[in-house]
Structure 1
């Protein structure tokens, strides 16, 4: 079941539980006991459906925050503006389960060190966000080409505005990176989530030439042994999992 649908069912279950307890007279009067029971029921339902842990936290605070927001006297237009802002930044994250992650300078330097010296290559960043990785790599390796694909409008627009400052070797496109051809690339970089990694590897095997690299930040490919694991050494203890495509199969 998609996570968004799980969340909807959990919320419905939470409200059904709260109304049932209230109707039976098992809750004290007032809005807060009702909201508390709804939060408890929704969190329990989400846990029963094996939702991700961060969804449990959302269910635990959703109804209480609704009560707080309703009593704060904030104009409805501000809620609409906040929703619109989140929409243009995160776009289809609820469906793809890929949040916005930004690669830091240490990671950019480590990835640049993997690129072959003295030979220009093409690098594709899956879900390139604001383009910080592309710009950092372009400064370190001006002889190479760096492309990014980003679905969310706001990060894509920002990356397009900033790309010319880093040089002409950067191209950023808005769209679905699974719908793009990966065949022209020597290195594919992914900082996504555990959910799409199996699909990423399947597409890499289908389209990348032997010798091409798939570098995944933090999330290994399920069931595949990486050819190399790079410890970046930053504050968040970033690991880069490196997989080489060899005749359509990974080394094991």
Structure 2
């Protein structure tokens, strides 16, 4: 089921649950018990539909915030501004189910330790956000060349602004699946569980044998990582390192 349809079904389920609880006399009188029941019901529905985890707080807050916005009589321009801002930040997240994740400095340091010091490398960050990883790496390894691809306009623009003047960093906007990964020694992905099978298929087709695909936190279904790097940060980051096999070994 597409994510947008899941969201609609979850919201309808939330209202159905709230209506049934209200008719049964379970809820206290008043609007807010009804809204809270709807929000909890919608969140439960989203969880049962196996929506991405980041949808759950959206369902929990959606109806109460909508009612608050109506009651304070916000001007329509504020809704348009909020929609535009969210669209610029998240862009196609509703379709790709890849939210905006930012890699921290400890993760960048752990990733840098994976890069061979024997020769310059070509490193590609797919879905690179604001470039928080690549700017650190580009300064740590001036001998290597780094490329970031980001589709959402706002993170891309901020990354371009912050990365200006870094000679060994290319900053691109677009779909990382549409761009060739040929010639890349290392590809880094901090995405979500949803696209990881497609990421592996593209990496296996295009990247040279012996190159690395490093996934932050999300495993590739059906593939065993060569090793797992535990990062000592607050979110307990794990870097899963996969090695691209020769074509004969994949057949």
- Displacement of 1:221 in angstroms is 1.3
Cross-structure match for 1:102: 102
Report the Cα offset of residue 233 of structure 1.
1.8
Deviation digits for residues 151-183 of structure 1 (CA, Å, limit 9, x no counterpart)? 000111111222223x22111111110111101
Aligned residue number for residue 140 of structure 1: 140
Closer, same or farther: CA 69–208 of 1 in aligned 2, 3 Å:
same
Match of 2:125 in 1: 125
SS of match in other structure, 2:164: helix
| CA positional deviation for 1:246 | 1.8
SS of alignment partner, residue 214 of structure 1:
strand
C-alpha contact (below 8 Å) 1:205/1:249 kept by paired residues: no
How many Å separate the matches in 1 of 2:81 and 2:11?
A: 23
Separation in structure 2 between the aligned mates of residue 103 and residue 109 of structure 1, nearest angstrom: 10
CA contact (8 A) 2:180 2:206 kept: yes
**Within 5 Å, which residues of 2 pair with 1:124-203?**
124-165=124-165, 167-203=166-202
Residue number in structure 2 paired with 1:245: 244
Which consecutive residues of structure 1, in runs of 5 or more, have no partner in the other structure? none
Residues 52 and 97 in structure 2, CA contact (< 8 A), matched pair in contact too: no
Cα distance in 2 for partners of 1:41, 1:113 equals 46
Cα RMSD after superposing both structures: 2.4
Which shows bigger deviation, 225-234 or 185-194?
225-234
Q: For residues 46 and 238 of structure 1, do their structure 2 counterparts lie closer, same or farther at Cα, with a shift above 3 Å needed?
A: closer
Task: Identify the residue that residue 222 of structure 2 maps to in structure 1.
Answer: 223
Task: Output one character per residue of 1:45-101: Cα deviation in whole Å (capped at 9) or x when no partner.
Answer: 334423344434332332122222222233232222122111101111121111111
Number of corresponding residues: 249
C-alpha separation in 2, matches of 1:7 and 1:247: 42
- Flag structure 2 segments of 5+ consecutive residues without an equivalent: none
Aligned counterparts of 2:119 and 2:88: Cα–Cα separation in 1: 38
| TM-score of the pair, normalised by structure 1 | 0.88
- Between 1:51-60 and 1:147-156, the stretch displaced more is 51-60
Between the aligned partners of 1:12 and 1:158, the Cα distance in structure 2 is: 37
Q: Residue 58 of structure 1 aligns with which residue?
A: 58
Instruction: State the alpha-carbon separation in 2 of the partners of residues 2 and 88 from structure 1.
Output: 21
**Partner Cα separation in structure 2 for residue 81 and residue 68 of structure 1:** 17
